[in-house]
Structure 1
Amino acid sequence: MKVRANGLDIEVESTGPAGAPAVLLVMGLGMQLTAWPSYFTDPLLAAGYRVIRFDNRDAGLSQALDHLGVPNILWESLKLKLGLPVRTPYRLHDLAADALGVLDALGVQRAHVVGASMGGMVAQRVALAAPERVLSLTSIMSTSGARRLPGPRSDVLRALVTPPRDRSEAGRVEHGVRFFQLIGSPGFPTPEPELRERVRESMQRSYRPAGTARQLAAVAADTRRAAELAQVRARTLVVHGRDDPLVPLAAGEDTARRIPGARLVTIPGMAHDLPRGVVERLLQDLLPHLG
């Protein structure tokens, strides 16, 4: 269903009793609410939570902001390395305001906020912007955004910023499969037919490379969050894979170090995805954390 949040039309799926404690799931760069698999959400529902998933602005079925143009990611990345201001159509603060707007639209006063990758950064921003509304914070395979942290492996970065040569649906699917294989968890590999079907279904639901570029610019421009994380007061769990080639483990370690009282859980064999084996391990810490 669509709700009006922070002045935008945001696609939302809310499951579970309206009066139950809410868990707000925030997905990552260019990803859709469907990237939260049922084997992640079903145990939350079984534990008595209301699970709220949504498409970020510029992704999935939520409002596109094409009128804002497409940033030159390579140029903005160079500016970031040189310490120059990054030009971005909007900020992570705005995505955090969208998330809070979703809660407003659903009449939810407080929620456990769980974010993955860019969604973890947005969740951190939610905890900073509205601490009174955050029951707990969980940051999964994400980062503080500190400048001196190691970046993606070179082949992963190249795959992230290089568009598919073949722009047909089959070409886009093949490009997506190759990318997700690069960042997939070596200890919990997803069978290629299953991965291919997920990528195909996702692209048939929505394909927004321009929106992903705008989100990526917002991530790059959020250079002050690391210093602000000391202000987070929410009970925080940080989960990170030890084999993440996109957001290296050092990023998760730095996030946990900067948030007072945060608990860090590292998972061997986990990279930058949520296969069943990773989720089963993650839930062992997430469910007690929420409880």
Structure 2
Amino acid sequence: MERFIDAAPGVRLWTEDRGATDTSPLLLIMGAQAPGLGWPDGLVDMLTPHHRVIRYDHRDTGRSTWAFDRRPYPLGQLAEDALAVLDGLDVERAHVVGMSLGGMLAQLLIADHPDRLLSATLIGTSALSTVPYIHPDGTRIPPEELPGIAPRLLEMWSRPVVDLGLEAELERRVEHWRILGGDQLPFDAEYARSLERKAVEHTGHYTTSTAHGRADASDLNRTEQLARASVPTLVTSAPAEPVFPPPHPQHLAQAIQGARIIEIPGMGHALPPEVHTPLVAAILDHTTGR
């Protein structure tokens, strides 16, 4: 079922609610600039037999309100939007699964609203914490000295996005996914293109939003709150991750009290079909014990 939820005056969020209503809710939080359809249908279909699965468009993505230039907001507001989705669907508590920026927003929920979460799964993200990473050999590494984003990706992000028509934009996005996917799994360009074409059709245009990259991110540090977290948390580690490569996941698992970590073989910063089965198995083991 699709519906719009009012998150704030003048801000409506598109949501999709799938699966049996008598199962526990699971909220999928996508990354920056990505609509809810960034969670592929195949992956969602594997979750719906076990959960009431909710995905939604962040503001300034998909069918939700695009208004950053008129009403800018801090990046943390997107975590409050996630709560607005739960409130609008009459969900008191939910499992949350966050990817990339979505994983950061999930950390804000762990820190600020633990009473609303049944569990959290964090994918392809970094810790909102200043504690050092402790290497197995005992070396303490400050977060700012952990490995950075792959140069190929930084170079692509540095290029201005020029409107050369829909097909050219789809090709640009496919190449973006090629880099994000890493180098350990085969890349299916047609699969990536079909996902992006569906996202464009869902949105109604192919404009690329830059709102989340421009939003104020100065108030995201949750070091102390994460260190005493009470929400059961799973961190996934992706060996081919080009945005937050290992040991970012290991650092994240150390920063959140009680968190455990699992590796998804071959995974990068993307959700191709090859990772759906192991990723869903990890999520369901965490949320249901299956």
**TM class, shorter-length:** 0.7 to 0.9
Q: Does 1:266 align with 2:263?
A: yes
Deviation at 1:14?
0.4
- Distance in 2, matches of 1:144 and 1:245, equals 16
Deviation at 1:37?
1.4
Q: Which runs of 5+ in 2 are unaligned?
A: 131-142
Q: Match for 1:239: what amino acid?
A: T
Look up the match of 1:129: 112
Pick the aligned partner of 2:287 from 267, 278, 290. Answer: 290
Look up the match of 2:134: none
Look up the match of 2:60: 58
Stretches of 4+ aligned residues off by more than 4 angstroms: none
TM-score by length of 2: 0.86
Look up the match of 2:31: 28
Pick the aligned partner of 1:199 from 180, 196, 199. Answer: 196
Q: Which runs of 5+ in 1 are unaligned?
A: 70-88
Look up the match of 1:18: 21
TM-aligned CA distance change 1:134 to 1:14, over 3 Å: same
- Distance in 1, matches of 2:151 and 2:223, equals 24
- Distance in 2, matches of 1:223 and 1:22, equals 26
Look up the match of 1:38: 41
Look up the match of 1:105: 88
Q: Deviations over 1:249-274 (max 9, x none)?
A: 22211111100110111223111101
TM-score by length of 1: 0.86
Look up the match of 2:135: none
Deviation at 1:276?
1.4
- Distance in 2, matches of 1:102 and 1:183, equals 28
TM-aligned CA distance change 1:208 to 1:219, over 3 Å: farther
- Distance in 1, matches of 2:219 and 2:151, equals 22
Deviation at 1:240?
2.2
Look up the match of 2:102: 119
> Does the residue aligned with 1:112 lie in a helix, a strand or coil?
strand
Q: Does 1:246 align with 2:243?
A: yes
- Distance in 1, matches of 2:220 and 2:39, equals 27
TM-aligned CA distance change 1:63 to 1:171, over 3 Å: same
Deviation at 1:288?
1.2
Look up the match of 2:69: 67
Q: Deviations over 1:115-172 (max 9, x none)?
A: 0111111111112121111000110111114550322111101212423345311221
The number of residues matched between the two structures is 269
Q: Does 1:90 align with 2:73?
A: yes
RMSD: 2.0
TM-aligned CA distance change 1:111 to 1:125, over 3 Å: same
Deviation at 1:21?
0.7
Look up the match of 1:156: 153
Higher share in helix: 1
> Does the residue aligned with 2:55 lie in a helix, a strand or coil?
strand
Q: Match for 1:209: what amino acid?
A: T
Q: Alignment identity in percent? A: 34
